[in-house]
Amino acid sequence: MDRLASAPPPRARALAELPERMRALYRTGAYFVSVPPGPSPEAGYEEGYWGEVVDPDGARRDRLAERERHVEDIAGELAYIEAQGGGRILDAGCGLGWALSALSDRWERHGLELSRFAASHAARFGDVRVGSLLDAPYDDGAFDVVLCHHVIEHLPDPLRGLRELRRVLRPGGKLVLGTPDFDGAAARRWRDKYRLTFDPTHVSLFSCDSMHRFLRDHGFAIEAVEFPYFETRHFTRDNLLRALDRDAVSPPFYGSFMTFYATLADTDADADTDADTDTDTDTDGSGSVSDA
């Protein structure tokens, strides 16, 4: 009984096994590792999630006051979008709407956001609906570009989410998808102190290799993959020196963030590969390495 009482919570156990489970993605062909959420993730998406927060290393910040910083952080993604020339864009998981606010008038701006609190702020910058990416309330082929920036790792069913992204894009449309790499250099060096595992709403964890396969197997041609770091505010002497300390929470590091730029192929959007029904015994049949 005492051993049961002192056992780590399910998420902690899953994260302790994460390095081996990420390596299993190469062996099994699964796309992501599923881990349990932390306490009350749904409640966390409302006001408490979007106001003042404390980063894993103890730094305090106010997301409501971070528009300029966020726009600077996604300068590369915004430049790619603007280079498409305009049209209809969906920011899937638009948060407070900072990306929508930075787009030029050439774009008809739409946002989808799970949080009513965040959506009420984002509505200043476009037509924003409250809802889940797992059931996107838009017509087929409605958008020329979809931005999905650090959202897919929050979804319990990323495969369903990607199918919805694909459905609402027109053939030949562009997808800009950002997510952490949970098998990159920082994840391997810092393991349980990797800063991107501290968010209790990160439940579907990809590697660079598995995200390549995930997109290609579901009708997307990858144009480029970027790892924003050297051109960002995170590339500092202090952060480089922090990389020497493996006992502290990991600093921002090259390769931790991935941005995929992809085009939806001009093919039957309903045609999935056999990978969708993977029956490997190490997976749960959904494309993930299971928690069993």
What radius of gyration do the chain's Cα atoms show? Answer: 19
Give the per-residue pLDDT at 47: 77
> Taking CA 19 as the corner, what is the angle to CA 16 and CA 20, rounded to the nearest 5 degrees?
100
CA distances from 82 to 88, 99, 168 (A): 12, 12, 20
Give the per-residue pLDDT at 52: 83
Residues 223 and 263: beta-carbon distance below 8 Å: yes
Written as tens digits, the pLDDT of the chain (292 aa) is 344 445 668 999 999 999 999 999 999 999 999 999 988 654 557 877 888 888 888 888 889 999 999 999 999 999 999 999 999 999 999 999 999 999 999 999 999 999 999 999 999 999 999 999 999 999 999 999 999 999 999 999 999 999 999 999 999 999 999 999 999 999 999 999 999 999 999 999 999 999 999 999 999 999 999 999 999 999 999 999 999 999 999 999 999 999 999 999 986 544 454 444 332 334 444 566 654 3
CA–CA distance, 134 with 164 (Å, rounded to integer): 7
Give the three-class secondary structure for 53: strand
SS3 readout for 81-136: HHHCCCEEEEEECCCCCHHHHHCCCCEEEEEEECCHHHHHHHHHHCEEEECCHHHC
Chain centroid offset of residue 138 CA: 21
2-279 is classed CATH 3.40.50.150 = yes
Domain extent listing, the chain? 2-279
